[in-house]
Structure 1
Amino acid sequence: MTHEGSHSLFSTLGAVIPHFSLHRSGSGSGSPKRHPVLQEFENKLVEKFDALKEAGEELGFLSIDWLLQALSVVLSTHANVEALIPNLTFPLSSRDDKWVDEYLDDSAKLLDVCNVLKEGISELNEYQMLVQVAIRNLQGKDGKDANYYRARNALQDCMGVIKKKDTEYKQGHAKSKLESCSSMLRTMGEKLVNPKAMEAVKGNGFLNAIYGAKVTTIFLCGLVVIALACKPKRPLVNLHVSSQCLWASSLLSLQQRVKEETDKRKNKGSIALLGELDNVDLLVRRLYEVVDKKLNEKSVFFNTEEAEELRVLVQEFATGSENLGRGLAPLEECVNELFRLLIASRIALLDILSSSKEK
């Protein structure tokens, strides 16, 4: 998967340093004014949030395809930040030290988020392997009892995986990595409620755009985290952003729709918020009941109505597993790309700041 501008957020910044001054001054000059290129950046962000909302209605919020589109928004937003750099100055006042420290701290936390997401995806891949074992044995041509015993064991293991993930979220148990990750993102989101961090940059377009990219990353990565979890105890990341951001209303509208859909899923009794995983989990439980009942009754599946019902159910199971599996590799690729972006950005920013202090 190729993402336009997927190199460092600050790589272009290093290249254009001779064209503007990176200095520290006691106060800014003039009143805050939105740069026309920043205006374009924010308009694009409005379009992306609106498109995500529309795609959610079509694909299903927190489905694999929707999450891929959400992560694509994160990556392209970072790329659009780079496009701002050649057109903007970057004056740093003494108060901007806090912004730099916060950015470096937040990017380190987002690197941890990427690692947890990769572990979550790896767990789903292992779950998929068990599902495939069950499918191969249920689709066996010989119809031997041994196949059904192996299928039942694999289905039982699948239920054990989901039960373990579910148990991790119940009170009295230590937080799982995904739960801890969700809490960390929620805390980062709460820090964004106060607009003073934006006031300190006095309308500098680049830092405002960085703020937009950070909000986008915290919100959408938070959704990927809860999608990979089971019955998260805490609510979704709830962001409150300043109305001075052109994209604020689009973000809040999307946030509300996602909340409505996830609440509906929870009230329905779904263990998994990831649409495809929830579907496969339901089929795992149904097939286990059917196969276990037949093995306990010591009856055989002949060309009967029951055998046809089983065949249809297994085919549905195979399709559900395919829908889940095909999105995991692209999802992991997006997470890896975000990890590379964050690493490169940290290195480039530190190099630029170090150079500016030497001048």
Structure 2
Amino acid sequence: MSRAQDANRSFFPFGNPFRMISPRGTKITSELFSVLQAFEVTLEERLKKLIHESKDEILSLSWMTLAMQALSESYNDIKNLIAELDLPVNDWDEKWIDVYFDISVKLLDLCIAFSSELSRMSQGHLLLQCALHNLGSSSSEQYDRACSSLDGWKQHIGSGNPRIEKCGSILDGLLGSLDLPKVKKSAKGKVLMQAMYGVKVLTVFVCSVFAATFSGSTKNVMHLDVADLYSWSGTFKRLQNLVNEEIRVRFSSGRFTILNELESVDSAVKELYPIIQRVVDPIEMESLANIVEELGKSTEKLSQGLDLLTKEVDSFFQVVLTGRDTLLSNLRSGAIVIHSNMGSNRNAQIVK
């Protein structure tokens, strides 16, 4: 598993994954295998839903919303899998708990960073609304105000977000968590670890796409080298190659943003500037009306998309937080001796 620039480096999750099906150690029964297979089939179906024939549908707010929904559903599936396996917390290996708490705090940090960026982008909507209001007049003074609002919007959207800049180090930590603890004595544990691995791969991929999109840089793009052992690996590789390649193409084209809805607004703004500055010709007036209408539609679509994605990010945050709180409650009621490292993870402060 590696970032894009280290694509040739790879390693097997859990050590050697083929050890899982070797005759040594605890074997997975046919019943447990069926449970795992059903989980992975569902995971693969979610991956397929993120693969669109048209590249124009990728890197849009609607696609990102679907990706975040896939994460929430997958984490809920893990919770249901634990219940189906009848694997109470007091049977969990200490290392599994360590990993879970460490991952959960990183995910909460990422959710907070993504929410802050979505909020910042939504704040720019007011500037667009002011511009549209002033463009409803034929006054040169109103046009000047509209230009000022549009300049303010572009400057606001183009400014950096310190929280997003921290996502790279958090993602590096998540990348390391893919090397999950080995499971030697528990067949149910092996099933849980393999299922968790698939969800973690989806998590790192989706979060890296979010971070790259919001940061305006390819430095957060990751290439995850998943072993062919997993039934969903082919679908994941297809998705990853499709999305990562589109990210690189859009960045290399010098676009203002790689996000579809933002690019649509920016295109309308670029068309407006020269017309606003010299509106006298009736033909230009007609052209202005059409472009203003287009900007209005693009602005509304951007606002709606941001609202929906914000709700999904908040929903995922609650899924992670609820799961974390439930495990803590079970640990306390089970009177389990908690490893010191896990304790520090549990009490870690979320980056704000």
Gaps (5+ residues) in structure 1? 1-27, 169-175, 295-299
Which amino acid is 1:323 matched to? K
Equivalences for 1:132-143 in 2 at 5 Å? 132-140=129-137, 143=138
* 2:51 aligned counterpart, secondary structure: helix
Deviation of 1:197 after TM superposition, in Å, equals 2.7
Query: Structure 1 163/82 Cα, relative in aligned 2: closer, same or farther at 3 Å?
Result: closer
In structure 1, which of residues 192, 203, 212 is the aligned counterpart of residue 198 of structure 2? Answer: 212
* 1:243 aligned counterpart, secondary structure: coil
Query: Structure 1 99/224 Cα, relative in aligned 2: closer, same or farther at 3 Å?
Result: same
Would you say 1:331 and 2:309 are equivalent positions?
A: yes
Query: Structure 1 163/220 Cα, relative in aligned 2: closer, same or farther at 3 Å?
Result: closer
Q: Distance in 2 between matches of 1:80 and 1:59?
A: 30
Conserved in 2, the CA contact under 8 Å of 1:159 and 1:285? Answer: no
Gaps (5+ residues) in structure 2? 1-23, 338-352
- Counterpart in 1 of 2:232? 247
Which amino acid is 1:238 matched to? H
Would you say 1:41 and 2:39 are equivalent positions?
A: yes
Deviation of 1:147 after TM superposition, in Å, equals 1.4
CA deviation profile, 1:131-152 (whole Å, cap 9, x unmatched): 1111121123xx1122111101
Conserved in 2, the CA contact under 8 Å of 1:68 and 1:331? Answer: yes
- Counterpart in 1 of 2:247? 262
Number of residues of Structure 1 aligned to a counterpart in Structure 2: 310
Conserved in 1, the CA contact under 8 Å of 2:81 and 2:192? Answer: yes
Which amino acid is 1:127 matched to? G
Q: Distance in 1 between matches of 2:135 and 2:115?
A: 30
Deviation of 1:45 after TM superposition, in Å, equals 0.8
- Counterpart in 2 of 1:340? 318
Deviation of 1:221 after TM superposition, in Å, equals 2.5
Deviation of 1:267 after TM superposition, in Å, equals 1.8
Would you say 1:98 and 2:95 are equivalent positions?
A: yes
- Counterpart in 2 of 1:111? 108
Conserved in 2, the CA contact under 8 Å of 1:276 and 1:324? Answer: yes
Query: Structure 1 289/123 Cα, relative in aligned 2: closer, same or farther at 3 Å?
Result: farther
- Deviating more after overlay: 43-52 vs 245-254: 245-254
Q: Distance in 2 between matches of 1:47 and 1:332?
A: 24
CA RMSD of aligned residues (A): 2.6
Deviation of 1:333 after TM superposition, in Å, equals 0.8
TM-score (norm 1): 0.78
Conserved in 2, the CA contact under 8 Å of 1:117 and 1:335? Answer: yes
Query: Structure 1 94/75 Cα, relative in aligned 2: closer, same or farther at 3 Å?
Result: closer
Query: Structure 1 178/252 Cα, relative in aligned 2: closer, same or farther at 3 Å?
Result: same
Deviation of 1:187 after TM superposition, in Å, equals 3.8
Query: Structure 1 86/106 Cα, relative in aligned 2: closer, same or farther at 3 Å?
Result: closer
Q: Distance in 1 between matches of 2:91 and 2:74?
A: 28
Deviation of 1:234 after TM superposition, in Å, equals 0.4
- Counterpart in 2 of 1:272? 257
Query: Structure 1 112/164 Cα, relative in aligned 2: closer, same or farther at 3 Å?
Result: same
CA deviation profile, 1:96-117 (whole Å, cap 9, x unmatched): 3222112101100110111111
Would you say 1:227 and 2:225 are equivalent positions?
A: no
* 1:35 aligned counterpart, secondary structure: helix
Query: Structure 1 191/83 Cα, relative in aligned 2: closer, same or farther at 3 Å?
Result: closer
In structure 1, which of residues 153, 160, 185 is the aligned counterpart of residue 155 of structure 2? Answer: 160
Q: Distance in 2 between matches of 1:245 and 1:357?
A: 36
Conserved in 1, the CA contact under 8 Å of 2:99 and 2:177? Answer: no
Equivalences for 1:1-359 in 2 at 5 Å? 30-33=26-29, 35-54=33-52, 57=54, 60-90=57-87, 96-140=93-137, 143-165=138-160, 176-192=162-178, 194=179, 197=181, 199=183, 204-230=190-216, 232-291=217-276, 293-294=277-278, 300-301=279-280, 304-357=282-335
Conserved in 1, the CA contact under 8 Å of 2:209 and 2:220? Answer: no
Conserved in 2, the CA contact under 8 Å of 1:155 and 1:288? Answer: no
Conserved in 2, the CA contact under 8 Å of 1:287 and 1:313? Answer: yes
Query: Structure 1 130/198 Cα, relative in aligned 2: closer, same or farther at 3 Å?
Result: farther
Conserved in 1, the CA contact under 8 Å of 2:131 and 2:146? Answer: yes
Q: Distance in 1 between matches of 2:153 and 2:336?
A: 58
